[in-house]
Chains A and B, each alone.
Chain A
Amino acid sequence: MKKRLDSMELDFFLQQLITGLSNGMIIALIAIGYTMVYGIIELINFAHGDLFMLGSFLALTVLGVLGIDAWTGGGTWLGVLLLLLSSAAFCAGLNWSIERIAYRPLRASGKLSLLVSAIGASFILVNLGLFWGGLPLDVFAGGVAAAAPKDFPPLVPNTNLLGEDSLVQLTPKDLLVLGVTLPTMLALTWIVTRTRLGKAMRATAQNPVAARLMGIDTDRVIGATFLIGGALGGFASVIYALYNNTISFQMGYRAGMDAFTAAVLGGIGSMPGAVAGALVIGLVRAMSDGYLETRWTNTIVFGILVLILIFRPSGLLGSRAKEKV
């Protein structure tokens, strides 16, 4: 009896570990969008979470229009790929346009006017999400209750890969999260460290004036950053939708907040930091939900954030930039 209890406790722990990591990886994808934009123009891009929300609405629309939920076998995976690509393209384009319209003209006038502009953009995107939910499509339940959360069809099955008898669940959903997040991050690391664009991005982040003097078209580099950040948001939105199976026009708020917290926790501007921060947040949330009380989870997450920042003022993996005196 005693032994059995122990194994159940272990199962429970493993389960929370899996859940925490999966949630953390989704947050990480969004967090990178924040951290990239922050790194390059020092803007907390409030609209990013809502951009992510619109990405999932696009995915649901594409799914509904093409009837992807009816595709079977290999078709399902083709469908998932299609959703990923369309959402990424959409979010990238939208993010780029927002930068063009709402941020670029204000770049010279200081961080805070940019911030308010981003807040404004965020409100507009939320409203667009509300309208979008009213589309008269079957996947939106005919659009009658525009504001209601929408069910996202379970393209990826929830079967337990460890066998139906196992208490611990590891599902294709978890693998999907890993299978999308990991290659994306590797590709991103490659872009940032190895390509010309990546070098230009890092140079612009370091010193935009110098970068411009060196002949780098900083406007284009910033645009490219928004494109990439948006595309990652698009990936995240599809993964999120497939993993949680619900989307709502207000989901951008919490997703954005978690991601931003992760970016800061890891050291804002640092991409590996954002991933580390996101995994920490995912795990802390899962463990707190599992072993303590859910209602205190937010308090615990932010308590840990404050503690970490007291002892590491520039985040887990951030480097303390020495001010040039």
Chain B
Amino acid sequence: MAARLNPILAFFAIAAALPLFFGASGLFYDAFQSIFVFALVGLGLNIITGFTGMLNLGMAAFMAIGAYAFAILTCDIYPFQVGFWWGLLLAGAVGAVAGFLLGAPTLGLSGDYLAIVTMGFGEITLDVLKNLEAITKGTQGINPLPRPTIGGWTIELQDERSWYYLLLVLLGVAVLFVRRLERSRTGRAWLSIREDALASQCMGIPPKRTRMIAFATGSAVAAFGGALFAALLSSTGEPNSYDFQVSILALCIIIVGGMGSVAGTLVGAAVMVGMNAIVLVKIADWFGAGDSGSSSNVLASPNNWKYLIFGLALILVMRLKPEGLVPPRLESTATGVPPGPTVSVPPAGGRA
């Protein structure tokens, strides 16, 4: 077990040390703040898809629900104004309830049917957020959102180092909780459903209830991430900030990182979000420097290459590391058990 904890500890140790080296760079903080937020969303999706094996294409919806719940509960244009910490907590709770409501009737569906339902839920959430203008302010977004206060000390938005560590700590708490669940009876039940739903059911594990708990937990974590996303911007942005592309990004994070691996999710978030926040920006800067001529040629602008680079990167990572960058269950190879002789299972002859 110790072998598994290492990459996670390493991630946090490195992340905690990084500001010592790059403390002056705003870009550094921006990139990593998004990385932490999306790591949270990825963590939630990892519970649902990575642990329990339910393909969820609507993670952004839960992020949106978290962000809007947080905004409505804390923004001073509404009467609730529960404050930053209660807002975060309640946003997570609202996310769990939403996950539960969506899950209750649909978690009996098999794989890709569930995927399409979650995708539809993502679309519905966007539409509802846009259409219920009286409540959500439609496409305006809700702002400003409060800053966190710790014992009378308020972390202002521009105090990036404090935000960095705040997010890191919150991510750490989330990782701790997720790991605890993963390595308990609850998590074993999730994994067993992913491995073989029928066998798990025949072992007395109620599939629907187990899935529902996983779904609600994952949704809560993602909603928590969404609330932090909004808090970081001090605005919910517009509903379109949580569209299908965000769900896809979350999915790419966990698959590129390594399905079902908490460490993988963290690394996946760093790679996928970092690619956007650092690599693509840098590429645009490098190629864009000194360009003052005509830009009517579509190929001339580096920005027009971003989709291509992003897509190629995804395909390449999958070609080189199809199991993800940090595949789960390192200890099974680490303990040096040689893979058993491959016995071909005799083809099941008819209905014997």
A, B in one complex:
yes
Residues of A within 8 A of B (CB): 38, 42, 44, 102, 105-106, 109-110, 112-117, 119-128, 130-131, 133-134, 143-144, 146-147, 210, 253, 257, 260-261, 264, 268, 295-296, 298-299, 301-303, 305-306, 309-310, 313-315, 323-325
Across the interface, A299 reaches (CB within 8 A) one of B128, B255, B256, B347, namely B128
Known pairs A120-B311, A303-B124, A313-B113; A113 contacts B304 (CB<8 A): no
Residues of B within 8 A of A123 (CB): 307-308, 310-311, 314
Number of interface residues of B (CB under 8 A): 52
Q: Are the CB atoms of A323 and B105 closer together than 8 Å?
A: no
Whole-angstrom CA separation of A261 from B145 in the bound complex: 37
Q: How far is the CA of A134 from the CA of B311 in the complex (A)?
A: 20
Residues B123 and A313 in contact, CB atoms below 8 Å apart: no
Give chain A residues whose Cβ lies under 8 Å from the Cβ of B310.
120, 123
Is B319 engaged at the interface, CB distance under 8 Å to the other chain?
yes
Q: Is the CB of B116 within 8 A of A117?
A: no
Nearest B residue to A313, CB-CB: B109
A38 to B112, CA, bound (A): 10
Chain A nearest CB from B165 CB (Å) reads 32
Question: In the complex where A113-B255, A119-B248, A124-B311 touch, is A261 in contact with B116 (Cβ < 8 A)?
Answer: yes
- Contact of B297 with A by CB under 8 A: yes
In chain B, residues 41-75, which have Cβ atoms closer than 8 Å to a Cβ of chain A? 49, 55
Contact assessment for A131 and B113 in the assembled complex, using a CB-CB cutoff below 8 Å: no
B16 on the interface (CB 8 Å rule)? no
Best-surrounded residue of B131, B252, B255, B299 (most CB of chain A within 10 A)? B255
Contact between A309 and B298 (Cβ–Cβ < 8 Å)?
Answer: no
Given that A116-B255, A127-B304, A146-B298 are contacting pairs, would A299 and B124 also be in contact in the complex, using a CB cutoff of 8 Å? Answer: yes
- Sample (27) of A-B pairs whose CB atoms are under 8 Å apart: A44-B112, A44-B115, A110-B322, A112-B49, A113-B322, A113-B323, A123-B311, A123-B314, A127-B307, A127-B308, A130-B304, A131-B304, A134-B298, A143-B296, A257-B119, A257-B123, A296-B127, A298-B127, A299-B127, A301-B120, A302-B120, A302-B123, A309-B106, A313-B108, A314-B110, A314-B113, A325-B198
Q: Does B82 contact A (CB under 8 A)?
A: no
- Majority SS at the chain B contact face: helix
Interface contact B109-A115, CB-CB below 8 Å:
no
Report B-chain residues with C-beta under 8 Å of the C-beta of A313: 108-110, 113
Chain B's closest residue to A301 (CB) is B120
Q: Which of A147, A210, A305 has a CB less than 8 Å from the CB of B116?
A: A305
Docked-complex contact B128 and A264, CB < 8 angstroms: no
Distance (whole angstroms) from the CB of B347 to the closest CB of chain A: 8
Determine the residue in chain B with the shortest Cβ distance to A142: B296
Q: Which of B106, B244, B305 contacts A310 (CB 8 A)?
A: B106
A306-B112 CB under 8 A given contacts A122-B311, A295-B127: no
- A180 vs B322: C-alpha distance when bound (angstroms): 40
B256 to chain A, nearest CB (A): 7
In-complex Cβ contact of A106 among B55, B110, B119, B319 (8 A): B319
Please name the residue on chain B nearest to A315 by beta carbon: B113
Q: How far is the CB of A45 from chain B (nearest CB, A)?
A: 12
Is A116 a contact partner of B307 (Cβ separation < 8 A)? no
